Amino acid sequence: MTTAVETLAPARALPSARPGTIRRRTHPLWFLLPAYGLLLVFFFLPTVFNFVYAFTDWSGFKAEINPVGVENFTQLTSDGTLFRSLRITVVYAVLVAIFQNVFGFGLAVLLERDTTVNRIARTFFLIPVLMSALAVGYIFQALLKSSGLLADTTWTIVVVALIHAWKWMGLSMLIYLAGLKSIPLEVTEAAHIDGASRWRTFWRIRVPLLAPAVTFNVATALLGSMNGFDIVQATTGGGPARTTEILNIFIYRTFGQGLFAQATTMSLVLFLLVALMAFPVVYVLRKREEVL
């Protein structure tokens, strides 16, 4: 096996060498320069700065910036803020991912047939997706203020996650709808001919074939809500008693107080959290796709 591949390899390399040199002229790399220059300056450089200024005493109260080692981290871990914000962020992200996908999937199944009523209904469920998240937050603050649901130290995080899911469920619905449409009719017909009930066909054939849509929806919901801000800020502002203070709320608050180094430290923590969670989440979900 391996020898066959090895003998084939140089034979393949020959014709591909010429198009490679042509590509240099027809698709020059300098086309990448403007985009990657801006990416470097406005995206990668600030990220690198995160790794530097998290270890300084940068603040709004004095001009000079001095290195202080891991003092920001020890301070934020010793008063419990770091793990508390991390825990709240992860809980929020997981809750949003669950709610948004359950709602989106339910809506997609309910509104799957292309009838006039369903088309109108889908349009309405897309309105929240287009609205400003800040506006959504204010609407639910006004709606729920008198009920006390936004003032409970245990359950408010669940309520805010539900609001976040309400805003984005239309997007998940669209993606599940596209997934359902992409399943060839022959597959379900074959199952039907083999004597499978509609219920069984649905759960054993159609739902597993939705794996790519699940991957996309779970990944975007998780990562999007970890990076969330507007909805939490507009509904609770992080309260009550800081029980809904996700990382971006903390960053916003400490930045406003002039504690730039602490804000940077948390920004770095958020970066690491997303980076660390993104790879396993995408990997696991992709693996599931392959198995199916």
Partner 1 sequence: MSRRLQPVFALLLVAVVIGVPLWLVIATAGKSQGEAVDPDLTPPSEWHLLDNLRQVWTDADIPAALLGSLLIVAPTVAIVLLLGSMAAWVLARRGSRLTAVLYALGISGIILPPAVVTVVLLLRQLGLAGTAVGMIGVYVGIYLSTVVFFVTGFVRTIPESLEEAARIDGAGPFAVFRRVVLPLLRPVLATATILICLYVWNDVFYAFFVIGGRIDTLPLNLFQVASAGLYLNNWHLIFAYVILMSLPLVVVFAVAQRRIISGITSGAVK
Residues 238-267 that bind partner 1 (CB under 8 A): 248, 251-252, 255, 260, 263-264, 267
Retrieve residue 280's tokens: 């396993």
Question: For partner 1, which residue of 68, 86, 139, 149 counts as binding (CB under 8 A)?
Answer: 139
193-201 contact pairs (CB < 8 A, 24+): none
Kindly write out the interface string for residues 82-111 of this chain, putting x where it contacts partner 1 by CB under 8 A and - elsewhere: ----------------------------xx
Rounded Cα distance, 80 and 93, in Å? 20
Kindly write out the interface string for residues 161-200 of this chain, putting x where it contacts partner 1 by CB under 8 A and - elsewhere: -----x----x--xx-xxx--x------------------
Q: Does 143 bind partner 1 (CB under 8 A)?
A: yes
- Distance of closest approach, residue 138 Cβ to partner 1, in angstroms: 6
Q: Does 25 bind partner 1 (CB under 8 A)?
A: yes
Closer residue to partner 1 (CB): 158 or 271: 271
Closer residue to partner 1 (CB): 73 or 138: 138
- Distance of closest approach, residue 34 Cβ to partner 1, in angstroms: 5
Residue list 52-81, contact with partner 1 (CB under 8 A): 52-53, 58
Q: Does 226 bind partner 1 (CB under 8 A)?
A: yes
Cβ atoms of 92 and 246 within 8 Å: the answer is yes
Torsion angle defined by CA atoms of residues 253, 249, 40 and 34, in that order, rounded to the nearest 10 degrees:
-110
Retrieve residue 203's tokens: 């759960």
Rounded Cα distance, 268 and 274, in Å? 10
Q: Does 125 bind partner 1 (CB under 8 A)?
A: yes
Closest CA to 251 of 241, 232, 264: 264
Backbone angles phi, psi at 148, to 5 degrees: 80, 0
Sign (positive or negative) of CA dihedral 204, 210, 211, 215: negative
Question: For partner 1, which residue of 55, 92, 99, 216 counts as binding (CB under 8 A)?
Answer: 216
Cβ atoms of 265 and 74 within 8 Å: the answer is no
Closer residue to partner 1 (CB): 105 or 260: 260
Closer residue to partner 1 (CB): 136 or 191: 136
Q: Does 140 bind partner 1 (CB under 8 A)?
A: yes
Q: What's the burial of 167, exposed, middle or buried (CB within 10 Å: 0-12/13-18/19+)?
A: buried
Question: For partner 1, which residue of 158, 212, 239, 242 counts as binding (CB under 8 A)?
Answer: 212
Q: Does 17 bind partner 1 (CB under 8 A)?
A: no
What is the number of other CB atoms lying within 10 angstroms of the CB of residue 268? 20
Closer residue to partner 1 (CB): 156 or 265: 265
Closer residue to partner 1 (CB): 105 or 194: 105
Q: Does 270 bind partner 1 (CB under 8 A)?
A: yes
DSSP-assigned beta bridge partners for residue 56: 67
DSSP state, residue 149: G
Question: For partner 1, which residue of 96, 133, 157, 160 counts as binding (CB under 8 A)?
Answer: 133
Rounded Cα distance, 292 and 288, in Å? 6
Question: For partner 1, which residue of 68, 121, 162, 285 counts as binding (CB under 8 A)?
Answer: 121
Cβ atoms of 249 and 292 within 8 Å: the answer is no
Rounded Cα distance, 161 and 246, in Å? 11
- Distance of closest approach, residue 209 Cβ to partner 1, in angstroms: 11
